[in-house]
Chains A and B, each alone.
Chain A
């Protein structure tokens, strides 16, 4: 039974990664690609690691997994913020497709 739940979690994580990759190829600019790219970095990896924790069920493994999840939740927004700020600075933002631009100088 637990193996079934773990399998569902693993497949969910893999499907999220695939969805982000399809979006990477099809979406038009950096900002919409970044929107899609965050899914496997946080939710997808969390799903896979929860499935892994359900399979392993040992204290040492779960501690490491919690560490990985915490680190990923801390670093993924920072990296996305840096990439978004850099692309806004070098002028990749298409302002015609926005209804409101809070970063406008």
Chain B
């Protein structure tokens, strides 16, 4: 079981690093939101794997809270990004002007 834990933690560490790369580079806010969602899912998975290795239920409420907070975060960012002022807004205006 220790080997499984080490493999899983390695995989999830690479996952988190790649998500951080997308959060830093992502051209728009919505790219960063998607990457943050994956990061939150990977964090929940890491906490679950840790609980499975150690055979304890202490951290289960944290997973519930994390999924709730991740949902609220991405929904509110999506609402906010609809009025974003940036290069993406210019593209929308161009499309409207053409049609």
Q: Which residue of A lies closest to B19 (CB)?
A: A21
Do B78 and A91 touch (CB < 8 A)? Answer: no
For the side of the interface on B, what is the size category?
35 or more
For the side of the interface on A, what is the size category?
35 or more
How many Cβ-Cβ contacts under 8 Å join chain A to chain B? 176
Q: Which of B81-97 contact A (CB under 8 A)?
A: 81-82, 84, 88-89, 91-95
Do A86 and B34 touch (CB < 8 A)? Answer: no
Do A40 and B41 touch (CB < 8 A)? Answer: yes
Q: How far is the CB of A15 from chain B (nearest CB, A)?
A: 6
Do A52 and B51 touch (CB < 8 A)? Answer: yes
Kindly identify which residue among B16, B22, B55, B67 contacts A68, using a CB–CB cutoff of 8 Å: B67
Say yes or no: A64-B64 contact (C-beta < 8 A), given A21-B18, A48-B48.
yes
Kindly list chain A residues whose C-beta atoms are within 8 Å of the C-beta of B12. 14, 17-18
- Asked whether any CB of chain B lies closer than 8 Å to the CB of A79, the reply is yes
Interface residues of B (CB under 8 A from A): 1, 4, 7-8, 11-12, 14-19, 21-22, 28, 30-31, 33-35, 37-38, 41-42, 44-45, 48-49, 51-52, 55, 57, 60-61, 63-64, 67-68, 70-71, 74-75, 77-79, 81-82, 84, 88-89, 91-95, 99
